A and B are shown apart, each in its own frame.
Chain A
């Protein structure tokens, strides 16, 4: 996408216009346009998350199954600072920080959590890393669930309510704003806000990818020992990947809390981590357009199912036979199996991954077998 667009400014302009008018198109064409727009807003949040996880999994090759923890950290941080829940005990200067300060804070705090959770896992690889990160993800959620005693910090399973929407330049994003004769409601405002963050994070991802740091990540993914033997401080570079990925997640979580106005531990279950990982893998690990595509498909499909399956069932059977929610898991499971069988590199892979999973010729595959045997003989 990126390259074709660079070459074709017209395409880029059309795409940008489409993205800008999408909320009004949805509102104009569908009677339940607002619920669709809400779904799109969430899809954008998932794009942020998937791009963050892509740094860890796609670039650095570190399988993280607890990624949603950083989303939770960002969300709870926003909730605690911007709701009446802790208002009495919080010093005034900490309560309702300005928007940009809040976002930077969410990124930093989540990034620190990324380093904290990443550092014990540095020696682990593959399955072991996945299991430990999975555990960490759950630990964070369980903390959120239980930190209501002895002092009530997170309000336990009930979660935190009455979270204020963001305020930017004096505008409260929780209230409709009239502009150019159009009424921008909360879902419209948040659409543009999250979109702006998507653009920012795509930009950051791209810049990192094509830098000394990005190359070091890929080198570690390719061969950690060789990377270390070529002078890369693998520990620091891996921690940096954890921190960057986590900070994207933190920002995304803060936006989520402010948009939703309510957070509870339920939003941060393991299944969410798995979903975000699915987005990255299905779309195409390590490739920004692929990851975005994956996030859109995985987050929008359930909505589509709901809108298609229910009327369909009513028309055919006259009643609801299956719950689309259950069908969702079935469809996902099938989709993942099929993708992994026929297109393991994902729908829109990077050149690198395509090459990896589809060697050019048989010869190379054979050569690879040889070098594997060689490696076994010479265990260094």
Chain B
């Protein structure tokens, strides 16, 4: 349980004059739920984008599961075992829920043009396996009955779930969730919490951004706090909660 899964250090990312991430370093251990919090604009999503290859960091180091992933393409990162969801949902809107999850398995399947055209026994078996796994994953996140619905027609909460199912379809070791509870009501949030615990119990490490502090305190093993692109605190929820710098960052004043 204490093996280091992901390690970054000295990560810097600038947008013109804006220093969105400065010297950020953190380690995520196998099997934990690692939380990332911070005020709006602190750089949480930027860090996610760096970790998933969407942004190229300016400097730093990034290893995952023994592999060097510094400045690698998103598809390489996924292949190495990191999958993500997006803060502003990015599903394939005009594909069905099932197809969305099938696309997620692209990286773990091999059928090429000739296999697809000739529909060889191997290609057929793979296609059947992809469909079966997609159905199983929809059931896993609790939207099996919406399989044939176009992603765009799903409710907001179901879309968030579908994004998780699609990410899980890539067989990740680390699942990175960017504000999965945003816009959910308390009941949905509670269901989501259970889902994340289930995912972790099934052996997937989770990196989670969330503004809902109560949810984070109850769910995360460790939490890091970002403010203006810097990591200002890291530790178990209790420590972080009582850290004066964190309180200052959130309330804008130093505690008495």
Q: Which residues of A contact B113 (CB under 8 A)?
A: 208, 213, 240, 244
Restricting to B89-131, which residues have a CB under 8 Å from any CB of A?
89-95, 99, 102-104, 106-109, 111-113, 115-117, 119, 123, 126-127, 130
Asked whether, in the complex, the Cβ of A230 is within 8 Å of the Cβ of B170, the reply is yes
Q: Which residues of B contact A244 (CB under 8 A)?
A: 113
Q: Name the residue on A nearest B130 (C-beta).
A: A212
* Alpha-carbon distance A216/B113, docked complex (angstroms): 12
* Alpha-carbon distance A213/B113, docked complex (angstroms): 7
Asked whether, in the complex, the Cβ of B84 is within 8 Å of the Cβ of A353, the reply is no
Asked whether, in the complex, the Cβ of A207 is within 8 Å of the Cβ of B49, the reply is no
Size bracket, chain B contacts: 35 or more
Q: Which of B49, B83, B104, B113 has its CB near the most chain A CB atoms (within 10 A)?
A: B113
B42 touches A (CB below 8 Å): no
What's the tally of chain A residues with a CB closer than 8 Å to chain B?
41
Asked whether, in the complex, the Cβ of B111 is within 8 Å of the Cβ of A212, the reply is yes
Asked whether, in the complex, the Cβ of A230 is within 8 Å of the Cβ of B117, the reply is no
Q: Name the residue on A nearest B151 (C-beta).
A: A222
Q: Which residues of A contact B166 (CB under 8 A)?
A: 230
Q: Which residues of A contact B167 (CB under 8 A)?
A: 230
Restricting to A180-221, which residues have a CB under 8 Å from any CB of B?
203-204, 207-208, 211-216, 218-219
B153 touches A (CB below 8 Å): yes
* Alpha-carbon distance A216/B103, docked complex (angstroms): 6
Q: Name the residue on A nearest B100 (C-beta).
A: A219
* Alpha-carbon distance A359/B151, docked complex (angstroms): 12
* Alpha-carbon distance A367/B53, docked complex (angstroms): 29
Asked whether, in the complex, the Cβ of B88 is within 8 Å of the Cβ of A218, the reply is no
CB distance from B170 to the nearest CB of A (A): 5
- Given A211-B111, A222-B93, A371-B88: A230 touches B104 (CB 8 Å cut-off): yes
A225 touches B (CB below 8 Å): yes
Asked whether, in the complex, the Cβ of A213 is within 8 Å of the Cβ of B111, the reply is yes
A380 touches B (CB below 8 Å): yes
Q: Name the residue on A nearest B103 (C-beta).
A: A219
Q: Which residues of B contact A175 (CB under 8 A)?
A: none
Q: Which residues of A contact B83 (CB under 8 A)?
A: 230-231
Q: Which residues of B contact A216 (CB under 8 A)?
A: 103, 106
- Given A360-B153, A371-B88: A227 touches B117 (CB 8 Å cut-off): no
- Given A229-B52, A380-B45: A207 touches B119 (CB 8 Å cut-off): yes
Asked whether, in the complex, the Cβ of B107 is within 8 Å of the Cβ of A231, the reply is yes
Q: Which residues of A contact B92 (CB under 8 A)?
A: 218-219, 222-223, 226-227
16 A-B pairs with CB atoms under 8 Å apart are: A203-B117, A212-B116, A215-B102, A216-B103, A219-B92, A219-B106, A223-B93, A228-B75, A229-B53, A229-B54, A230-B169, A234-B75, A240-B113, A360-B153, A367-B156, A374-B88
* Alpha-carbon distance A360/B104, docked complex (angstroms): 26
Asked whether, in the complex, the Cβ of A212 is within 8 Å of the Cβ of B79, the reply is no
A355 touches B (CB below 8 Å): yes
